[in-house]
Structure 1
Amino acid sequence: MIEKYNQQIFQSELISRDLSWLHFNHRVLDQSEKEGRSIVDKLKFLAITSSNADEFFMIRVGSLYNYLDYGKERIDYCGLRSIPFKMKLLGDYQAFAALQNKIFTEKLKPEFAQNGFLVQGLEELEKREKDKVTHYFEKIVFPMLTPMVYDSYHTFPILVNNVLIFGVVTKSLDNKDKKKMSFIQIPQNLPRFYELDRKGKTIFVPIEEIIREHLGDLFKNVKIVSSTLFRVTRNGDFTLEESEDDEANFIEEVKKKLKTRKTGRVVRLEIESDHDKWLLRQLMSKYDISPENVIKIPMEALMDYTGLWQMVGHEDLRHLLPDRQAPVPPISMSEYEDQNMFKILKDRDILLHHPYNTIDPLLDLLDQAAEDPNVLSIKLTIYRLAKNSRVVNALLNAAENGKHVSVLFEVKARFDEENNLKEAQKLQKAGCFVIYGVGSLKTHTKLLLIVRRERDKVTRFVHMSSGNYNEDTSKLYTDISLLSSDEGYANDVQEFFNVITGHSVPDKYTYLLTAPRDMRDKLIDLIKNEEENAKQGLPSGVVIKMNSLQDKDTIMAMYSASQAGVPIKLIVRGICSIRPGRAGLSENIEVRSIVGDYLEHSRIYYFHNNGKPLVYSGSADMMVRSFERRLESLFLINDQLLKQQAINILAYNLKDNVNTYVLNEDGSFTPYQPEDQKRFNIHKEFYKVKREIVMNAKLF
């Protein structure tokens, strides 16, 4: 049956979004086996794959169950209907989870001892170490644990999403009573591992093994038949109903929907391989799940690899993490050092390429705007924030100094909803004008507008970005952003803010492509222009770097252009639904994915335009959600130096031969293995870029 599914999938012109995501997580997992990475760096990537999988089940598999549970039919891009697709998807994930566990147990654990740390159960500890663990359990852990019995007198408890839980089966000592099952949720505010020092070597003892050893303290005068560790993942996919009600009701609706994540239907059950079979049958019945939803974890492995972040962030192991190179100055701002940002931006535009360039010029601009008596207003969109955000602090300072501050806070930013609500209310209390999203649309665009009075006129300063206003992720994600005082940009950004915050329908934008207004149509027009040029024998070409490609209309436009002879080169980090290299369909389309030290988050769209390139960047991927359900923007890069800088970023991405994977026609990815080429690792080479390299960059 699976072979039949695979054949049907291959025949489709499009690749499944969700199956493509699984291939992406395989590429991330591949980093945990890469030669040259330290053991802690490898553990980091294993933890990332586990976190990715949690979100995937909560949102993507949860979305699938929104169809299955209500008897709705859905045909996936690969051509499979809902039930066959579920079987294929969960079957492939089973194989992925097995590979995760194999890598951890057979490849990573054996490296622990030689790197100065161990993961050990209680049976491997020395007596004095066991005494410390017992003291920790009695004084800290035991008072926090609450057994919850399920029997004819007690209802089945609502077990928390994505936490470790013990299912304990008990009987009376005389064996007269029926078996009962109880549940103990391991508190989320306890460390995943208890740490011991053994002659300079750190010993990590899993919290579940400590509790398992002392279960008798919780179940006295009864017989413990079995104890089984498990973890449930619930459907976290929800939509907010568009409402004409007031802001307070909208916020309450968000809070109410967030609570549903704690009680949503179970879509995955992870359980120890040495589990109690009776307990598993009870859980599967209660949660209405099939064997495909059950992931069995070997006893020698670890359940929930996100717990490895405790090791990755451990002070004693920090020396095992790769050194991060200090940021270099932007190409157009080589002399930057605590200068007046207003003066610099009136002289020239600046393109920041993170993390190779620091985010400080933007943060300094905000700080200076907050203090400058001539600044009249600041408008900003916020999607995700750093902890202890300098952005928020600058806005609070600006409000206290009497400036008009308008902030569009996207409270529907997935898994950041609660933090965004809290930060937004803090700004509102300080006197900022805060807007909590725009109806059913998610505001994903990243825009800043500062209005400053200068003698008898005002000058507007803008910032437009592919990434969030988040100084933490700017050190880990590759993004690009543009700072400018150009009137064309300023008019467009101000007009877009009027659309977001008011009731405006602009005639046109000079430099922006916006969604849901016309971004898809404009991008298709740009692709068609390349197709027409190719048909007329003129030079043509498309190069696009993005996070995800899933929109069918733009994919079909690229297929048509490919058939006309347009060379199309795509750099897609994650989901990719286009099928390259198929005869008669996409011979001229190449797709590669870059996965390495940094998360590739920047979006750059290049169109050859008969030798007069058009280059855009911004917040949007080629996704249905980006074009139809989000407020997005792409900005045209006008300045010749900065345009060349963006072209060079694309050229370097195409030149990379260390972090690159190539998409095959069947939807699989193969590591790029060049012959006799010198290693070219963009995550190192971008620190060395000079102006002369940028000015000579070419794509075709």
Structure 2
Amino acid sequence: MVSSTQPPQPNWSDPQYYFSRELSWIEFNARVLHEAMDERTPLLERLKFAAIFSSNLDEFFMVRVAGIKRQVQAQVDRRSLDGRTPQEQLEAICQKLLPLVAKQHQHVQSVLRPQLASHGVFLLDYAALNQAQQRHLREYFEERIFPVLTPLAVDPGHPFPHISNLSLNLAVVVRSPEGTSHFARLKVPSSLPRFVLLPLELQRRKQTPVWMGVPIEQIVAHNLDKLFPGMEVVACHVFRVTRNADLEVQEDEADDLLQAIEQELRKRRFAGSVVRLEVHESMPDEIRQTLMAEMGLSNADVYPVVGLLGGRDLMALVDLPLPHLKDAPWKPVSHPRLRRLMESEYSTDEDFFALIRKQDLLVHHPFQSFSSSVQAFLQRAAQDPDVLTIKMTLYRTSGDSPIVDALIDAAENGKQVAVLVELKARFDEENNIQWARKLEQVGVHVVYGLVGLKTHTKLMLVVRQEGDRLRRYVHIGTGNYNPKTARLYTDLGLLTCREDLGADVTELFNALTGYSRQKNYRKLLVAPTNLRDRLLDLIHREREIARAGRHARIVTKMNALVDPPLIGALYEASQAGVQIDLIVRGICCLRPGLAGVSDRIRVISIVGRFLEHSRIFYFHNDGAEDVYIGSADWMPRNLDRRVEAVTPVDDRAIAKDLQEILGILLADNRQAWELQPDGSYRQRHPASPDAVQSAQQILMDMARQS
């Protein structure tokens, strides 16, 4: 028995118990970069991960670094969880990122480009081209590029021009016949392809190339004489700017939220302050200092690179027709129960609803098909004459969304359709505005959520007339209603017609669309209403079971763990004897393995071909196991500033399936990384090639065999 006399609890606000959120995110992106360097990963997949690394960094600077810089400028002493001031955070970020960025660019230049060339993919430098190739690109420049270029002089009569966010630019120094030097800025047009393909007749190599091209900025740089006739081009160097792109909408002062978001989007491209300057390492210090002075930057804001700036553009090469350099194609399979439904002699709209009435249905994407499950359910509901109402939340969806088309069909078929479109979904605001307007035009009731809160929950409610009663069918998911990301992200969705969940979801939609201030729900855990409190209750229950000397266990899967109250509760549970396994893909501020504090807590992260996005929470509960899924990570923003929904899984067979998924993930030794007490991650390695256990591969195999 564990002693009932408990020592005084530590002060869980002490920085020693936490990792920095920002540095933890950088550790995650380092794991992404590792996939770009892992020889076990197919070559074009490695190129994809290199591009994702760059894209992730762009967003990190536009949002996270920009926010910390605002705190520094406003002289806000808001400490990070690990006790750093905003200025100290910026210094730590720079110190951590500089070698990581150098590592990435060096790897792309020295490893990936030569390996691509060995497979017939030649991303060439202009200076290495022969005369015929350069002559062709000179003509291409004159016909396609030159007309859209606008060189901008910088002198007393021409102020330093505005540099748009994420744009590629050339800093050009020219000399007049009188010997006077002048500085000019030239923007590389983003409307043209980043990599310009050479014609087949000029692709001469010992082996037949699959693709051969040149970065557009090099074509511009080697033909500057056309832009500055009569002047000597002395120097030309590439640079790229990242600006603050986080929207600052005063929702409580906006008469029309949609218009307010549109105005902020116009500002995003041009108005945000510069937070990062990327330059080619060959840029002389004099030019670098000029750019820094004009944009109000310090040395810590400058990131010199050896290769291509804007590495996210490498994604354009990933789709080349070289299947042997990619992961084996994966086509999601239909859920076994749905497959039998589609193959049955009778395939009517009622069958789908009857299947859900018979038993709850759990779908696991991308292993099981989104289109034949969630999408098909909505499409059938849109056509079913007995369906009266459809309500759903849209946080992100695809550009050619069959989800939006189904909602339009439902409205045109006379059903009452209400959709909450979250206009503040970061970097999807413009798309969501378009969907909102398209839906409104056909009579869909469109709302934009609650002031001060993002609606992040993934909910669908279908109300159907069945005889003399109304029945509610519900989908509660962990991922967006987006057919494209459903093939790339691992997510879960529960389809059910349980009365208590249907009533809860109805009341939550009333809170989202009307003036309801619902506080109590039968089953749902809802943020910001009761989610944190209920999670704390569940953790504390395991703690008390352990203190009573009985087996206690917690297993959770999420994208990020930041919330101090929940971290403190996990520490207390560990101290009491609860065995805790946390599967946290990205940011984790909890420190595992601290003697007497978290030595019963293990944290792993899985980074593989699919983005781990599902959230599962398991509590042993003295044998009466509780399992939950939902949209919320354990972060203050999710628990306090977003509308989230987490549902218990009452079907015991489905609960066992979720436990099996957790067990498979915990046993991974191919893509799993273990978080160490010092904040670093150590990748697991199988004892032998025959002992490899890749969770994502196992789940694909299981789906295929089902």
TM-score, with length taken from structure 2? 0.93
- Bigger drift between 333-342 and 448-457 goes to 333-342
How big is the shift at 1:653? 0.5
What is the CA–CA distance in structure 1 between the aligned matches of 2:414 and 2:141, rounded to whole Å?
A: 53
What is the CA–CA distance in structure 1 between the aligned matches of 2:571 and 2:659, rounded to whole Å?
A: 23
Work out which of the residue numbers 441, 446, 468 in structure 2 matches 1:456.
468
- Bigger drift between 606-615 and 67-76 goes to 67-76
Work out which of the residue numbers 182, 188, 191 in structure 2 matches 1:189.
191
Specify the alignment match of 1:685 in structure 2.
Answer: 698
Which residue identity does 1:264 align to in structure 2?
G
8 Å CA contact 2:391, 2:462 repeated in 1: yes
Work out which of the residue numbers 244, 259, 269 in structure 1 matches 2:266.
259
Specify the alignment match of 1:374 in structure 2.
Answer: 386
Q: Secondary structure at the match of 1:560?
A: helix
Deviation per residue, 1:137-171 (Å, 9 max, x gap): 11111111111112111222111111110111223
| 1:304-453 paired onto structure 2 within 5 Å | 304-314=310-320, 316-330=321-335, 332-333=337-338, 335-337=340-342, 339=347, 340-360=351-371, 361-453=373-465
- Bigger drift between 318-327 and 225-234 goes to 318-327
With over 3 angstroms needed to count, the CA separation of the structure-2 counterparts of 1:331 and 1:522, relative to structure 1, is farther
RMSD, aligned CA = 1.8
With over 3 angstroms needed to count, the CA separation of the structure-2 counterparts of 1:674 and 1:565, relative to structure 1, is farther
Specify the alignment match of 2:584 in structure 1.
Answer: 572
Specify the alignment match of 2:288 in structure 1.
Answer: 280
8 Å CA contact 2:368, 2:703 repeated in 1: no
8 Å CA contact 1:58, 1:233 repeated in 2: yes
What is the CA–CA distance in structure 2 between the aligned matches of 1:33 and 1:282, rounded to whole Å?
A: 35
Deviation per residue, 1:189-217 (Å, 9 max, x gap): 21110112325302121111100011111
1:22 aligns with 2:31: no
8 Å CA contact 1:412, 1:437 repeated in 2: no
Which residue identity does 2:62 align to in structure 1?
M
| 1:575-614 paired onto structure 2 within 5 Å | 575-614=587-626
Q: Secondary structure at the match of 1:335?
A: helix
Which residue identity does 1:125 align to in structure 2?
L
1:221 aligns with 2:221: no
8 Å CA contact 2:507, 2:518 repeated in 1: yes
How big is the shift at 1:244? 5.7
- Bigger drift between 674-683 and 443-452 goes to 674-683
Percent pairwise identity: 39
What is the CA–CA distance in structure 2 between the aligned matches of 1:566 and 1:679, rounded to whole Å?
A: 29
What is the CA–CA distance in structure 2 between the aligned matches of 1:384 and 1:276, rounded to whole Å?
A: 43
8 Å CA contact 2:561, 2:587 repeated in 1: yes
1:250 aligns with 2:257: yes
Q: Secondary structure at the match of 1:280?
A: helix
Which residue identity does 1:305 align to in structure 2?
G
Specify the alignment match of 1:4 in structure 2.
Answer: none
8 Å CA contact 2:332, 2:487 repeated in 1: no
With over 3 angstroms needed to count, the CA separation of the structure-2 counterparts of 1:30 and 1:388, relative to structure 1, is same
| 1:486-525 paired onto structure 2 within 5 Å | 486-506=498-518, 508-525=520-537
Which residue identity does 1:261 align to in structure 2?
R
How big is the shift at 1:11? 7.0
What is the CA–CA distance in structure 1 between the aligned matches of 2:531 and 2:399, rounded to whole Å?
A: 32
What is the CA–CA distance in structure 1 between the aligned matches of 2:645 and 2:513, rounded to whole Å?
A: 15
What is the CA–CA distance in structure 2 between the aligned matches of 1:634 and 1:87, rounded to whole Å?
A: 38
- Bigger drift between 217-226 and 476-485 goes to 217-226
- Bigger drift between 552-561 and 35-44 goes to 35-44
- Bigger drift between 126-135 and 468-477 goes to 126-135
Specify the alignment match of 2:241 in structure 1.
Answer: 232
How big is the shift at 1:106? 2.2
Deviation per residue, 1:625-681 (Å, 9 max, x gap): 000000001011111111111111111100111000000000000101344571111
Deviation per residue, 1:67-113 (Å, 9 max, x gap): 01112122111212122221111111111101111211222122022
Work out which of the residue numbers 88, 91, 94 in structure 2 matches 1:84.
88
Off by >4 Å, runs of 4+ in structure 1: 331-334, 690-693
Gap regions ≥5 residues in structure 2 = 1-12
8 Å CA contact 2:51, 2:314 repeated in 1: yes
Specify the alignment match of 2:10 in structure 1.
Answer: none
Work out which of the residue numbers 290, 302, 311 in structure 1 matches 2:308.
302
Work out which of the residue numbers 213, 219, 229 in structure 2 matches 1:210.
219
What is the CA–CA distance in structure 1 between the aligned matches of 2:15 and 2:574, rounded to whole Å?
A: 19
8 Å CA contact 1:329, 1:336 repeated in 2: no
8 Å CA contact 2:459, 2:475 repeated in 1: yes
Specify the alignment match of 1:33 in structure 2.
Answer: 37
How big is the shift at 1:37? 1.9
With over 3 angstroms needed to count, the CA separation of the structure-2 counterparts of 1:624 and 1:507, relative to structure 1, is closer
What is the CA–CA distance in structure 1 between the aligned matches of 2:248 and 2:340, rounded to whole Å?
A: 48
Q: Secondary structure at the match of 2:171?
A: strand
How big is the shift at 1:470? 0.2
What is the CA–CA distance in structure 2 between the aligned matches of 1:691 and 1:28, rounded to whole Å?
A: 27
- Bigger drift between 676-685 and 280-289 goes to 676-685
What is the CA–CA distance in structure 2 between the aligned matches of 1:311 and 1:130, rounded to whole Å?
A: 22
- Bigger drift between 218-227 and 416-425 goes to 218-227
How big is the shift at 1:345? 1.4
1:132 aligns with 2:140: no
Specify the alignment match of 1:3 in structure 2.
Answer: none
How big is the shift at 1:255? 1.6
How big is the shift at 1:330? 2.6
8 Å CA contact 1:615, 1:637 repeated in 2: yes
Which residue identity does 1:337 align to in structure 2?
M
Q: Secondary structure at the match of 2:522?
A: coil
What is the CA–CA distance in structure 2 between the aligned matches of 1:439 and 1:294, rounded to whole Å?
A: 37
8 Å CA contact 1:17, 1:550 repeated in 2: yes
How big is the shift at 1:574? 0.2
8 Å CA contact 2:449, 2:513 repeated in 1: no
What is the CA–CA distance in structure 2 between the aligned matches of 1:129 and 1:454, rounded to whole Å?
A: 71
What is the CA–CA distance in structure 2 between the aligned matches of 1:319 and 1:401, rounded to whole Å?
A: 47
With over 3 angstroms needed to count, the CA separation of the structure-2 counterparts of 1:302 and 1:692, relative to structure 1, is closer
How big is the shift at 1:224? 1.9
What is the CA–CA distance in structure 2 between the aligned matches of 1:476 and 1:552, rounded to whole Å?
A: 31
What is the CA–CA distance in structure 1 between the aligned matches of 2:262 and 2:184, rounded to whole Å?
A: 30
TM-score, with length taken from structure 1? 0.94
With over 3 angstroms needed to count, the CA separation of the structure-2 counterparts of 1:507 and 1:156, relative to structure 1, is closer
8 Å CA contact 2:411, 2:417 repeated in 1: yes
Specify the alignment match of 1:545 in structure 2.
Answer: 557
How big is the shift at 1:534? 0.1
